[in-house]
Structures are given as C-alpha cells and as structure tokens.
Amino acid sequence: MTEDADRLAAAIIAGFLIARLLFAYLLAPGIDESYTLAVARSLSLSYLDHPPLHQWIAHFAALALGEGAAGRLPFIILFAATGWILYRLTRDLFGPRAATIALFSLNVAPFFFASAGSWVVPDGPLLFGLAVAAWALARLFFVSDPDRSRVSGLWLLAGVGLGLAGLSKYSAALSAAGLAAFILLAPKQRRWLRHAGPYVAAAVALAMTLPVFIWNAQHDWASFQFQGARGVPGGGLRPIQFLTMVAGQVIYLLPWIFAPLAAGMADAWRRRSDERRLFLLCLALPPILVFTITPLWGARGLPQWTMPGWFFAFPLMGAWLDERAIDVRALRRWAFISSGVLATVAAVAALQSSTGWLTRLAPIQFGVADPTLEAMDWRGLRDAPAFNPRPAFVVAAKWSDAGKIALALGPDIPVFVISGDPRGWAFVSGGAALLGRDGVLVVRTGDLPAELAAAASAFRSVGEPRSWTLTRNGHREVELALVPVKGLTRELPIPYPVAPR
C-alpha cells in the first residue's frame, strides 16, 4: 500500500508541477516579482524587505534563464521538493492515506499553488527550509531509538533547514520558537535539553543567517526597523483589519479546504497529549495566531504571513479525514471540484492579465483597481521615443513601478527611485558614476505635478513631459509621463529621509 501511495504522490507532484509551469508561462511577473528580480540584479548579503535567499535564487536564475517568467523555474522545482517532504512527513506520522490527502490538498489550495509554489517570492524557500527541519525532527522525535550517528546527522539537517528558513523570512523565528516550545511541553522530548543536538542545530541556523545580521549592522538595522514597525500599536483596536485578515486566509485556502484544516487543528488540540499532533500544532499555531491577531492594533497585515502555519495544518487535516474513513468516491469528487475551481480561477486570471477581457465585458466601478494589472507586461515602454537614444539612467517615482520599468527596459539601463518610500531601491549600487549625467523620469500622469516638484532639486533642469500609454490587447491601461531630466546633482540612490516604513 505504501508503494502505491508513493507512486500516487509522485504523480500528484508531477501533475501540479506541469500545471505550475503552464501557469508561470501564461502570467507575467507581478509587482513583487518584478521588484525582486530588479533589485536582485545587485547581489548583496541581504535586502531591505526580506532576508536574501529568494533574491539570491532570483539573481542566479536570471543569469542562467533570463528575467521574466523563466525566473520562476527554480521556485517551481523547489516547491515540488517541498511537497514530497511534506508527504513523507505525514506518511511517517499518520500513514500513506493521510499523507496523500495532505499532499493533494496543499497543491490545490490557491496560495500554495500560485504564490508559494510558483512565484519569485520568499514563501517557497521558507516552506522548503521548514519542511526539511520538520521532517528531520520528526525522525528524531517519533522513530524508535535511531543510532547515534543518525541522531547527529538529523539534528544537523534540522539546523540547515532552519537556517534556510531564516534566510528566507524573519517569521521563521516563530517556527523555531514553536519547536522549542514543543520540546519543553512534550514529556518524552525534554530529554533533548540534555543533548548537544538542539544546541548544534541552533548554532548552525544562526551561522547560516549571519549575512542578514551583517547587512543590517552595515545599514543601521534598516530591515529590522522596516519589518518591526508593522506590529507597532497604531492607536485603538481595528476589528475590520482583523476580520479582513481572517477572510483573506479563507480565500487563499478555499473555504472547503479551510474548513477541514481548521477541523483537523481543533481535533489535534483536543488530542494534544499525542505528541505527533502537539508537534504539528507547535509549528502551526505561532504564525497563525501572531499574524491574525496583530492587525487588531498594528498594520493591516497580509494573509500570506500566516501560511507557514497553515502549511503544517495539512498533515493534521489528512489525519482527521483519514480517521473518519471517508469514502474514496467522496474524496475523488472533492478533488475534482477543487481542481476544477483552481484551474478555472488560474485560467481567468491569466487571460484577464494579458487581455483585460473580463473588465471590458463587465466594467469595474471607477476607483476600484483591477488586480490583474499587477501582472501586466510593461515591455511597450521600451518603444517610447524617450529611450531612443538610451538614457544614462531612469528615475521612477514609486518603488512598485520601478520594478516594472526595470524589467521592461532590461538590465543595461539602471533604475533608481526618488521617493519618501523607495524600499529596496534605496540600497542599490551604481549611482555614484551618474553625477552630471542625463536621464528620464517615469511617473504616472496623475502624480506628475507632485513628482516634478520632488525631482527638481536633484537635477540642473527638467524638460517637458511626454505622454506614453501602455496598452493591453490594444486597450489603454496605464498612462505615463516621461520627463527628460538633465544634469544629476546628487548621488543615486537617494536614501530614506527617515527610517524605512
């Protein structure tokens, strides 16, 4: 039965890998991906928004495969490996049927199919590192009397997994805290406190994350300030933000997947004397609780911040459904419906992002943004007369637009941002040699007056704006003003005027 389940798991992983490759080909990079690919052109010990692992991967993928959708390939392959590790973890803890349910459910959940499983974002490397650590530790905690050399190797592997997670996102610290809590709470596991293994694993993880601390020390702890500010109380409770965060998690997972996930966690809580379930709860609950509750008083938060916790709820869901001996036909029906919904949503999103057909068929109200514009390709910008001949540099007014501009124009034209919130663009290199040179300011037409005033002090003269429209399938979508700027008077990049926010 185990061999049959392994073959089915391999087929599930292969099928979803092919689906992700197709989805990646059809959907252009979004704002966050464009920003990451552009900022990662400069290899650095770390970066403002996140630790560096996904930027390092993006950097070398771009060198090998070029920028754009091809840069997603390493992330797609990495998630296929993550899926297999989660399957093996669940199989070892609860059996092959529970593992198969968990694996399929993970892959069909929209967030894990698209963002964590396909896109150039830190979630994929984070989940891979956490999965490696969890699998290694489960072998230590729940396999009878492993030999001494195997114990040392598994603790070392757990440290490497946590190190990879720490190089991906700061929230990995919550998962590490959950593991420490499990050792303290589980009576049979407290013996590890007298063993060198946990301390070696912690030392390995900290050593691997040293680049993050070195970069922050060199840049006035800018990244820690940027991320830490999100949890600072903003005055009064904000229940709408809390409810929005909860609703976002349901949407990211699909309601009919979220419900059994929550049921599996509730069942595990009732049976937390079972150390297998307590282990997964200690990994799942810290990110879910912290990031769901924080919007009550802090920044609004994003549903994806909780997803590393939900990742470890899938084995609990698989175990819960398996123990109820649900009929195979019912599970297959559920799987077909879930796959159909996911395929439909993915196809509509890809088609809308490239053609805009849906919003022309049913126009959205004025003032409501079309989210698929984030994945619209800006390559038409390179045809603008302002880029012939090629300028020495381009200046953007928004960090989010700068990534789109950089990918459209290619790596030969450096891009910088003049803004009170330039994000990672405040730390890119190469601007010292541009003093006195001429460039082009790219700004959205509606923001032109304010941005002209902000940019005037950085140049000897500012020319007349020229309009340029980016189209999607022949329809006007993004209105830009391209402004010649002459004689750069201060070195780029222009840093944050205050601490990053």
Specify the pLDDT at position 146. 63
How many domains are there within the chain? Answer: 2
Q: Identify whether 481 is part of a domain.
A: yes
Angle at the Cα of 201 from the Cα atoms of 198 and 206, rounded to 5 degrees: 125
Q: How far is CA 430 from CA 333, 383, 426, in A?
A: 56, 25, 11
Q: Identify whether 158 is part of a domain.
A: yes
- Give the C-alpha separation, 396 to 404, whole Å: 10
- What are the pLDDT digits (tens) for 127-161? 999 999 999 999 999 986 667 778 999 999 999 99
- What are the pLDDT digits (tens) for 415-464? 999 888 899 999 988 888 899 999 999 999 999 988 888 888 889 999 99
Q: What spatial distance separates the first Cα and last Cα of the chain, rounded to whole Å?
A: 53
19: tokens are: 């689906």
Q: Identify whether 352 is part of a domain.
A: no
The pTM score is 0.94
- 491: helix, coil or strand? coil
Specify the pLDDT at position 41. 94
Q: Is the pLDDT of residue 479 over 90?
A: yes
Mean pLDDT of the residues in the chain: 92
Specify the pLDDT at position 467. 95
- What are the pLDDT digits (tens) for 161-206? 999 999 999 999 999 999 999 999 999 999 999 999 999 999 999 9
Q: Identify whether 368 is part of a domain.
A: no
Specify the pLDDT at position 244. 94
- Domain boundary (167, 196, 219) is at 219
Specify the pLDDT at position 501. 45
Q: Which residue is it, tokens 């993004």?
A: 478
- Domain boundary (199, 219, 239) is at 219
Residue among 95, 106, 103 at smallest CA distance from 257: 106
Cis peptide before 389 (omega within 30 of 0): yes
Specify the pLDDT at position 339. 95
Q: Identify whether 72 is part of a domain.
A: no
Domain span at 175: 125-219
- Domain boundary (219, 253, 277) is at 219
Q: Is the pLDDT of residue 496 over 90?
A: no
- What are the pLDDT digits (tens) for 375-390? 898 999 999 999 999 9
Q: Identify whether 153 is part of a domain.
A: yes
Q: Identify whether 185 is part of a domain.
A: yes
Q: Identify whether 458 is part of a domain.
A: yes
Specify the pLDDT at position 144. 67
Specify the pLDDT at position 235. 66
Q: Is the pLDDT of residue 1 over 70?
A: no
CATH of the domain at 422: 3.30.110
- Give the C-alpha separation, 159 to 140, whole Å: 13
